[in-house]
Amino acid sequence: MSEFEAEVKKAEKELEQSLVPLNNGEKEDEFLGELKMQAQDYGQKVQDAAEKAKLYAEEKISWAGEKFKEIQSKDPKEIVADAKEYARQKPGQTILISAAIGLVIGMLLRRR
């Protein structure tokens, strides 16, 4: 037997010794049990985060729907007057909002 074949046999034996059967009725490996518990914990955390995200999205969608209905019921002149008044009260925020809207529109137009 060559040196290479001897090394291959040695590696195979080490691999067989390190493999642990799962749920074969015998005592489970502590490490695998710990991994299962961590996976369950992470799974629960992901479910909790998804539920929170869903509730947040539902809340924001309903808020946006209410605002849309509010805007639809207003006269366009009234909306313009409100926008002008807001710009007079908060000029810094108005500039930032305008810049953000311009950036989004620019990105949308560049894609086309």
- CA proximity to 60, closest of 72, 49, 50, 68: 68
pLDDT in the model for residue 21: 57
Whole-angstrom Cα distance, residue 27 to residue 83?
70
Q: Which residue has the higher pLDDT, 34 or 20?
A: 34
The whole-model pTM stands at 0.43
In one-letter notation, the amino acid at residue 104 is: V
Question: Residue 36 pLDDT more than 90?
Answer: no
State the chain's maximal CA–CA distance in angstroms.
94
Rounded Cα distance, 75 and 83, in Å? 13
Q: What is the rounded average pLDDT of the residues 94-105? A: 94
pLDDT at 64: 92
Contact 55, 47 (CB under 8 A): no
Confidence of residue 20 (pLDDT cuts 50, 70, 90): low
19 — pLDDT class (breaks 50, 70, 90)? low
pLDDT of residue 68 exceeding 80, the answer is yes
Better pLDDT: 103 or 13? 103
Provide the pLDDT for residue 98: 94
